[in-house]
Structure 1
Amino acid sequence: MSDLFNGRSRSIVIQIASISFFRFPPGLSRVWALGMMGAARLSLPKVPGIGFWKLCGSGTEEGFTPVPNTAVYAILATWPDAETARHQTRAAPIFRRYQNRSTESWTVFLAPVSARGAWSGTVPFDASGEMPDGPLAALTRATVRPLKALRFWQRVPDISAVIGDDPNVAFKIGIGEVPLLHQVTFSIWPDRASMAAFARTDGPHARAIDAVRDGDWFREELYARFRILGDHGTWNGQSPLAKLDTRP
């Protein structure tokens, strides 16, 4: 499932989102990656065709903890079309620098189909099309109110355990721009039914959602769903999308 950009995708101009993940070895490469959380802000706006973009760090244990993981970083970006997205995430100098420093990298390409809310005061995704019957990706992003941060992070480990035990999720990670206060969750599912079952089943996730609503924990929220178009690279030695191809 390394390339799902078919002829129809090429002929219809739609906004494309990409999320690139990079894993860095111990030592100077991790120091470099941390420094790039500031320095790359100068380079990313100069990439031809790039629209909305964000640099993100991650937490330990697949990102779902407030403890920083100095090995894994991510770049989220939007592009005017599939060709630009594929080319620039491979060839743009800033992306090449990340790839050359990392021991492993993986980029997934997405077409937004629904989006609700804002990110840093901006609506980043131009959602169009119908929700896919097959695989889809979910992204949630929130700015946590500082006085509510402790309560929020007390809930996260239980949610992480539940999603980690879910046999349907093909990929999941927690990332963020600012530790403790800015949180992004990204996950890939084989279909809408499996994603909805996780979200709605009574448990830590559903109870946390209720607590968020009742306690007004978030200052800003974004919920987006995407059709999966393809990927390049590997994560933990393979494409996470391969898990979708080999489902019974």
Structure 2
Amino acid sequence: MPQQPVPTSRIAKNPDHNRLKTMSKSLVSFSFFNFPFAQKWWALRQMQHSDLEVPGASFAKLLGSGGGSGFSIKPDFGTYVIMCIWDSAEKAKAWESTDLFSTFASKSHSHQTHWMSCLQSYGCWEDGNPFQNYEMAAYTDGPVFALTRASIDKTKLLAFWRNVPVTTKALYDSPGLIFAKGIGQFPLVEQATFSQWKDLESMKNFAYQSDHKQVLKMANKEGWFREDLFARFIPVDINDL
């Protein structure tokens, strides 16, 4: 079972990694922080301020994560993610020098930031698509990241969580999966999946040819989600921008 994401920097140094065909205006970061037991209570308390204001970011969220294999109804109190969409590469490069990042990093026992550019997105997050005002990148080959996020109708919570084991098994059984983690801003009702894939074909095979597709059809037919969003990304090297 995939356990750890491949560092973006390692992907970026591979001569076969994705390249932007055009100058993309979208630059996104997912910073994972892993906290020791002594800092878990501190980390949890930060979730009361999950809508973040980060200098240079048009969109910033603090997200918790799922326990077990990453998709349990029980939280993982040791892993948190800060997601940012940046206005420019110059502002993004200052991210790890900010007080917010430095505080989280100093209290964690490990952290890792993935830099990426959006290939495609559709749907809504809080009544809007945070990627829609940015020029999309183009895919050639190599690794991709995916983000799926949904706000679940409270009357459909039982149906949603009853089917999570099916989609989780389909995900982890998928060839080409490198890493996956369930993340979210609010327990139970706002859920997202962040995943890393060997290539775009592997990701599409999971999305459109596995049991996941059948569950998604059911979700759409029965109206499980108040809103949902899907986005694909390619890794980029922040130092090359």
- Give the alignment's TM-score, normalised by structure 1: 0.83
Distance change >3 Å, CA 194–CA 23, structure 1 → 2: same
Distance change >3 Å, CA 18–CA 62, structure 1 → 2: farther
Deviations 1:88-126 (A, max 9, x none): 1x1111011001101111110110111101111121112
Corresponding position of 1:159 = 167
Residue 147 of structure 1 aligns with an amino acid whose one-letter code is T
Deviations 1:135-171 (A, max 9, x none): 1111111000001011101111121122223341111
How many angstroms apart in 2 are the aligned matches of 1:127 and 1:144?
Answer: 29
Between stretches 14-23 and 60-69, larger displacement belongs to 60-69
Which of 190, 196, 208 is residue 204 of structure 2 equivalent to?
196
Alpha carbons 2:174, 2:202 under 8 Å: kept: no
Distance change >3 Å, CA 196–CA 148, structure 1 → 2: same
3-state SS, counterpart of residue 14 of structure 1: coil
**1:148 aligns to 2:159 (yes or no):** no
How many angstroms apart in 1 are the aligned matches of 2:99 and 2:203?
Answer: 36
Aligned-pair RMSD on alpha carbons? 2.3
- Give the alignment's TM-score, normalised by structure 2: 0.85
How many angstroms apart in 1 are the aligned matches of 2:86 and 2:190?
Answer: 23
After TM superposition, give the deviation of residue 39 of structure 1 in Å: 4.1
Give aligned-pair identity as a percent: 35
Alpha carbons 2:183, 2:192 under 8 Å: kept: yes
* TM alignment of 1:90-129, pairs within 5 A: 90-125=96-131, 126-129=134-137
Corresponding position of 1:216 = 223
Alpha carbons 1:13, 1:80 under 8 Å: kept: no
3-state SS, counterpart of residue 17 of structure 1: strand
Corresponding position of 1:16 = 27
How many angstroms apart in 1 are the aligned matches of 2:207 and 2:148?
Answer: 12
Distance change >3 Å, CA 84–CA 168, structure 1 → 2: same
Alpha carbons 1:108, 1:231 under 8 Å: kept: no
Corresponding position of 2:87 = 80
How many angstroms apart in 2 are the aligned matches of 1:140 and 1:157?
Answer: 16
Unmatched tracts of structure 2, length 5 or more = 1-7
After TM superposition, give the deviation of residue 231 of structure 1 in Å: 7.7
Alpha carbons 1:114, 1:131 under 8 Å: kept: no
**1:71 aligns to 2:83 (yes or no):** no
Which of 30, 50, 53 is residue 40 of structure 2 equivalent to?
30
**1:170 aligns to 2:168 (yes or no):** no
